[in-house]
């Protein structure tokens, strides 16, 4: 299993590198971005690193081998397509990319991003990715106080064709935007250690349900 902590702590100091265009399969996009942050400065990269390690610990405790796409929160990158390649090379059962959104301040909630059906790119993982997305979505909705998104996608689901981490995946792949960092209520949860424990347990349970 590959867990992908979104962004990286050094991205803001390496803008030339992360702005470099990469081929996501149906176009070109920057290698990576700096990510979002709460209004009081808690960065997405720190949130994703924290939650990803909590998810990994729970999966490993259940006997699952886990690879993280970056070793710490002080470097830059990897590019989105390179993150997908890590899972592809490992022939991972699946890959889950952990994020937190920077949406409109009045919008709340989490949403799971699934790959669009793209011939020659995602057609081999499309159905399995949808099953993975449902399992993770349902676990987060049932076992955490974060509601499905009120502003992105529908009922906590969104399909996108513009993400290299999905387009370039050869294993089932989803992103989860765990909440809206720009919303005050969500931000309070996203900064809470107890919520991050709940969230990590839910994501891990969704992954285990899929893998089982």
Residues with catalytic roles: 177
Please check whether residue 66 is in contact with residue 146, taking contact to mean a CB–CB distance below 8 angstroms. Answer: no
CA distance 182 to 108: 9
How far apart CA 59 and CA 66 sit, in angstroms, is 7
Whose CA is closest to 112, among 164, 151, 160, 157? Answer: 157
Q: Which residues pair with 37 in a beta bridge?
A: 43
Name which of 142, 158, 152 is nearest 201 in CA terms. Answer: 142
Terminal Cα distance for the chain, rounded:
12
- Other C-beta atoms closer than 10 Å to the C-beta of 145 total 10
């Amino acid at each position: 299993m590959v867990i992908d902590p979104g962004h990286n702590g050094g991205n803001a100091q390496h803008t030339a590198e992360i702005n470099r265009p990469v081929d996501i399969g149906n176009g070109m996009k920057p290698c990576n971005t700096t990510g979002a942050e709460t209004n009081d400065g808690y960065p997405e990269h720190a949130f994703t690193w924290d939650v990803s390690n909590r998810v990994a610990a729970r999966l490993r405790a259940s006997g699952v081998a886990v690879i993280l796409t970056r070793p710490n929160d002080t470097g830059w990158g990897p590019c989105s397509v390179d993150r997908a390649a890590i899972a592809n090379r490992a022939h991972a059962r699946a890959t889950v990319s952990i994020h937190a959104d920077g949406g409109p301040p009045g919008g709340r909630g989490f949403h799971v991003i699934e790959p669009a059906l793209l011939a020659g790119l995602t057609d081999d993982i499309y159905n399995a990715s949808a099953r993975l997305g449902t399992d993770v979505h349902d676990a987060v909705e049932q076992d955490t106080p974060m509601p499905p998104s009120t502003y992105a996608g529908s009922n906590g689901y969104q399909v996108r064709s513009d993400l290299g981490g999905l387009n370039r995946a050869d294993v089932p792949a989803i992103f989860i935007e765990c909440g809206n960092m720009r919303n005050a209520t969500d931000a309070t949860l996203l900064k809470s250690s107890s919520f991050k424990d709940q969230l990590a347990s839910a994501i891990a349970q969704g992954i285990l349900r899929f893998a089982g």
